[in-house]
Chains A and B, each alone.
Chain A
Amino acid sequence: MATKDVTITVVGSGGDGVVTLGELIAQVAAHEGLNVIKTEAYGPQIRGGESSCTVRVASSRIYSQGAAVDVLVVFSWNDYKRFRGEISVAPGAVILGEASEEPPSAEDLGVIGGDDLTFLQVPFAELSKTATGAPGSKNVVALGILGGLLGLPTEKLQRALARKFGRKKAAVLEAVGRAFQSGLEFAESRRKTFESRRLDYEPGPSRLLLSGNEAAAIGALHAGCRFFAGYPITPSSEILHFLGEWMPRAGGAFLQTEDELAAIGACIGASFAGVKSMTATSGPGLSLMIEMIGLASMAEVPVVIIDVQRGGPSTGNPTKSEQSDLLQSLFGTHGDAPKAVLACSDVEDCFHATVEAFNIAEEFQIPVLVLSDQAVGQRKETITSADMRHEVRDRRKPTEEELEEYERYRDTPTGVSPMSVPGMKKGMYQTNGLEHGEDGRPNSLYLTHETMNAKRYRKMWPIRDRYHSFRCFGPTRAEVGILCWGSSAGPVQEAVAAANARGESVAAFVPQMLYPFPKRDFERFAESVDELLIVELSYTAQFYKYLRTFLDLPAGRTHVFKRSGGKDLTAAEVSDEIEKVRARTARVEVAG
């Protein structure tokens, strides 16, 4: 009996090659046309120390990282213990532990479903030593074992390995090949034990394996972004890396700035000069940018900011995900500062949301925030390149007529004023962070402030009407309706599908536009369900609080499931909560 969906986790220390191992399996599976989600987890030190890599491989579309691990590879039990409470092992799992280590107690494993486990001591280090003379190729031995166990094509695994070590000497390559072979042979010798974990699939066209951060960066280039400025911060730096490589190839400008203040400032300057601009950061960096996001609102300069959220406040949990930058994104700016906020739920979404953010920013001359998070930003997921298409709209140039007696901030019926750029002879103006009149000159009269606030906020209405994007899962009428956003959507979608398969009536509503919120669409959804369940990874339930600022959530039938980030949401958790709501035992009260 084989499987159509398997989750593998490898745990070790920095230097064990845990991440390389996961990457190779994921690449080969993607090349086979399988669906893959790959995540990595680290201790707080970001470099060095314990690391784990989880790869879920399935023959049909998957939406979240597996809730529990089917195959666990542990190079070091000490490192494993540092992930206590973060790795759940599925009943019947296969556990491969380094043979030179003391096997763990059942308690140490934190195992669910204990009796069904298959626990094997594997001499990873010894096999590596025999093959290469050193224990350092444990991960290559494990690649052979896992490749054999899953039934991935050997020649593809070998090619991937050769590409990875391609720059090494022939002798090294040969030794690595032997290590791989010894792993394969080990798997062959345990063929019966591993049979249930063998993947049952038909090879299909090769898929792309991308991280959410890469997809967002591609989205920016696709949208015509030709200026990027940013400051390194986990977990958003991959966007900086990607655009550092590709922006010059696209003929654009890339600048690694001295801090986040400079990054957003440079983007506003570049956009003022007529070039589509973006920066990317995480919570602490966003806090630094907030003042100048207000400048972009006030001076009406289009700019896109991607926030790959991590745990907060302060330095918080830099390598872990959380959905707690929501209120900062929506309300962080002082004054009344119009902006739009979008969310991404998966890797493909990071592409679409970024392009859409540019479309909105450029049309309405506002800052647009894209809320990603560590869970989607850093995970790698298979996508099809055909899905990476999105309409691109450019900034409208002022007409000749508009340039006669040009006023940059003309109070138009839509609130959008013609925006000239340097070089336009008749379009000269001075822009201002100070409140200004239609000509852009400082003006502190009450009436001007009121008029210009109204003009700037008038732009939000068409956004609300035209960009009310959201997703729904499940039946059109349901007993339980889940409301969530961002990376919670994947586990929620899988939990809804599982509930529906059990014959339970559960649906979900996931807004992609967070501000302006697709209010009417949501209200229709809320009316179509008996009980409403809000799911989010924020200790103080920021999403629930935000909704309450403009919605009357149905009294007596609204439930909130919230917890801190630090561990990705799983479909199993959501399923449990659905059962509680159905049994009317879910939490309603919210602390903080």
Chain B
Amino acid sequence: MSTTMGELPAFQPADYKSDLKPVWCAGCGDFGALASLHRAMAKLQLEPWNTVVISGIGCSSRLPGYVSTFGFNGVHGRALTLASGVKLARPELTVVAVGGDGDGIAIGGNHFLHAARRNLDVAYFMMDNEVYGLTKGQAAPTTPSGDKTKSTLWGNPEAAVDPCELAISFGATWVARGFSGDPKMLVDLMVAAIEHPGFAFLNVMSPCVTWRGDEQFKMLKAKLAFLPPTHDRTDRTAAFRYTRETDVLTTGVLYEVRQPSLVERLEEVRKKAHEVGGLATTADILEQLAPAI
């Protein structure tokens, strides 16, 4: 919904804010992500009642409660499964899935890959703090190798994964990285993600002050970099260059292409099926199933 020049927008960022106080720790990166989402929604003038924010479990998965739209705080790892159902059942709704890196890459990894592969018309914001926050500080699939956490006291023996790399590999058509400490850019990224027809994946680096300390925030800020203006978003190989980075953290839209979304493809399927004949009544189906003699 857009407004004409000179008119005051119908919805202000505050209109998307619920009166529930976040349970997050002071200094949590998720506050930045939440505020950016309120502003992005206002920029898009989304009708709150036609918007659904869906999450799994984790600190960041509490977010739907802090947004004044329809919301679904589901079970661990399954946000994208719920989002698939909502979007395919009601394609006219705006569906935003949110959650953490553990929720989306560990327990929910399979759904993440397949939502990307299907080009599901959902914007997915992964607040990545490289650790399990809610369960008090265990290693996540995104925790750098060698790091000490509650569950890796001798240093993390496993390699970390880059969610953006995964998303591009599996066919996501819009992939970006943002930083909760750079809300201006984050708002723009969220707006573009929601507007993108197809699966839009936004990896929001969102520091955890409690389990990763002030160090994480400082380090992310120090590593912050931006895509060069020459970067070709439609170039898959170029996009991979900005994944698995160690010394820098490049933010911006790494990859963007336009391909038929799942909703569009299912509409095509319905059209093909209707050419054969629509469903009128149960009797019609039964008639078609009569013995082929």
Contacts and interface: CB of A to CB of B under 8 A. Distances in A.
Nearest to A384: B286
A88 B90 CA distance: 53
B72 interface: yes
Interface in A181-219: 206-210, 214, 218
B285 to A, nearest CB: 6
Given A208-B286, A269-B72, A274-B89, A28 B293 contact: yes
A253 B110 contact: no
A248 B275 CA distance: 11
Contacts of A245: 273
B82 A272 contact: yes
A273 B75 contact: no
Contact of B90 (A207, A214, A255, A423): A423
A298 to B, nearest CB: 9
Contacts of A432: 65, 72-73
A268 B82 contact: yes
B213 interface: no
B266 interface: yes
Given A253-B266, A266-B84, A269-B85, A422 B70 contact: yes
Contacts of B86: 269-270, 272-273, 422
A151 interface: no
Contacts of A254: 266, 269
B1 interface: no
A300 B177 CA distance: 36
A209 B266 CA distance: 30
**Binding site of B, secondary structure by majority: helix, strand, loop or mixed?**
helix
A248 B270 contact: yes
B292 A262 contact: no
Contacts of B228: none
Nearest to A439: B20
A183 B164 CA distance: 65
B73 A434 contact: yes
A269 B64 CA distance: 15
A214 B75 contact: no
Contacts of B65: 430, 432, 441-442
B193 interface: no
B279 A249 contact: yes
B81 A261 contact: yes
B290 A277 contact: no
A322 to B, nearest CB: 28
Interface in B8-57: 18, 20, 48-52, 54, 57
B269 A248 contact: yes
A253 B263 CA distance: 9
A422 B269 contact: no
Interface string A384-419: 010011000000000000000000000000000000
B202 to A, nearest CB: 20
B88 A249 contact: no
B279 A251 contact: yes
Interface residues of B, number: 58
B93 interface: yes
Nearest to B50: A423
A27 B292 contact: yes
A163 B84 CA distance: 40
Contacts of A388: 282, 286
A405 to B, nearest CB: 14
A527 interface: no
A482 interface: no
Interface stretch (A124-132, A221-229, A359-367, A492-500): A221-229
Interface string A64-96: 000000000000000000000000000000000
Most A Cβ at <10 Å: residue of B77, B89, B266: B89
Given A248-B270, A422-B93, A430-B70, A221 B285 contact: yes
Interface in B55-81: 57, 62, 64-65, 68-75, 77-78, 80-81
A1 B84 CA distance: 62
A504 B15 CA distance: 75
B221 interface: no
Contacts of B287: 385
A265 B74 contact: yes
B289 A27 contact: no
Contact of B72 (A27, A229, A253, A430): A430
Contacts of B78: 261-262, 265, 292
A271 B110 contact: no
A209 B54 CA distance: 43
Interface in A235-271: 245-246, 248-251, 253-255, 257-259, 261-271
B15 to A, nearest CB: 12
A428 B70 contact: yes
B89 A226 contact: yes
A27 B290 CA distance: 9
Most A Cβ at <10 Å: residue of B50, B93, B285: B285
A368 interface: no
A277 B85 contact: yes
B236 interface: no
B277 A249 contact: yes
B69 A262 contact: no
A143 interface: no
Contacts of A425: 49
Contact of A273 (B52, B64, B111, B291): B52
Contacts of A428: 48-49, 68-70
B5 interface: no
Nearest to A303: B85
Contacts of B71: 429-431
Contacts of A57: none
Contacts of B277: 249
Given A209-B291, A433-B74, A266 B48 contact: no
Contacts of A272: 72, 82, 85-86
B282 A222 contact: yes
Interface string A39-57: 0000000000000000000
B283 A269 contact: no
A269 B83 contact: yes
Contacts of A434: 73
B75 A266 contact: no
Contacts of A259: 110
A427 interface: yes
Nearest to A291: B75
Given A226-B89, A385-B286, A441-B20, A262 B52 contact: no
B82 A269 contact: yes
A262 B73 contact: no
Contacts of B90: 270, 273-275, 422-423
A218 B84 contact: no
Contacts of B273: 245, 248-249
A508 interface: no
Which 10 pairs across A and B sit closest by C-beta, in order of nearness? A265-B81, A269-B85, A430-B71, A270-B89, A270-B85, A248-B273, A266-B85, A269-B82, A250-B279, A275-B89
Interface of A: 27-28, 30-31, 156, 159-160, 163-164, 206-210, 214, 218, 221-222, 226-227, 229, 245-246, 248-251, 253-255, 257-259, 261-275, 277, 291-292, 295, 299, 385, 388-389, 422-425, 427-434, 441-442
30 contacts: A27-B293, A28-B293, A163-B293, A206-B293, A208-B290, A218-B282, A218-B285, A248-B273, A249-B273, A249-B277, A251-B279, A258-B111, A258-B114, A261-B111, A265-B81, A265-B111, A266-B81, A266-B88, A269-B82, A269-B86, A271-B85, A273-B90, A274-B90, A389-B282, A422-B49, A422-B51, A430-B71, A431-B72, A441-B20, A442-B62
